Amino acid sequence: MLQSSITLKIALNSGLLLIILAFGRVLHTTGRPYLTGLFTAHQVATVALAGYLILILSSYMKNSGTTMILTVWLITGTFFLLILLLTGLFLYRERHLILSLWLHRLATAGFIIALAGILWNISIA
């Protein structure tokens, strides 16, 4: 039962992340005006992933506690997620397009690295 629960969580997180990345790439390729369905799916998947990760990590921290390195990864991931949301808003509103796009790409890579660090730290704990 525990193994299937972990597998389901990883599959759900991976699926949401793939949807976010794939739809983000399509939105970048097609450009403005953004395709409404893809843009909405990209936003919903991002918010769903963030919320689901918060639930998983808060449950984990209640049951297992936290280490210093996990706390650093969590703060780093939260920082990059906030940058992603903010730059996504700027891109949508056509504000500071070149800087926002550059920061959005950088924050995407940073968030994926932080997420990998969180998962790695949880798996060795």
Residue-wise pLDDT tens digits, 14-36: 888 888 889 888 988 888 787 88
Cβ atoms < 10 Å from Cβ of 118: 21
In sign, the C-alpha dihedral spanning 100, 89, 54, 20 is negative
Let me know: does 76 contact 114? Beta carbons within 8 Å.
Answer: yes
Domain containing residue 33: 2-124
Q: Which residues contact 109 (CB under 8 A, 6 or more apart)?
A: none
What is the count of structural domains for the chain?
A: 1
122/101: higher pLDDT: 101
DSSP notation for 97-108: HHHHHHHHHHHH
* Spatial distance between the Cα atoms of 18 and 61, rounded to a whole number of angstroms: 26
pTM: 0.74
Work out the average pLDDT over 32-57: 84
Q: For the segment 50-87, what is each residue's pLDDT rounded down to a tens digit?
A: 888 888 777 777 777 778 888 888 889 889 988 998 99
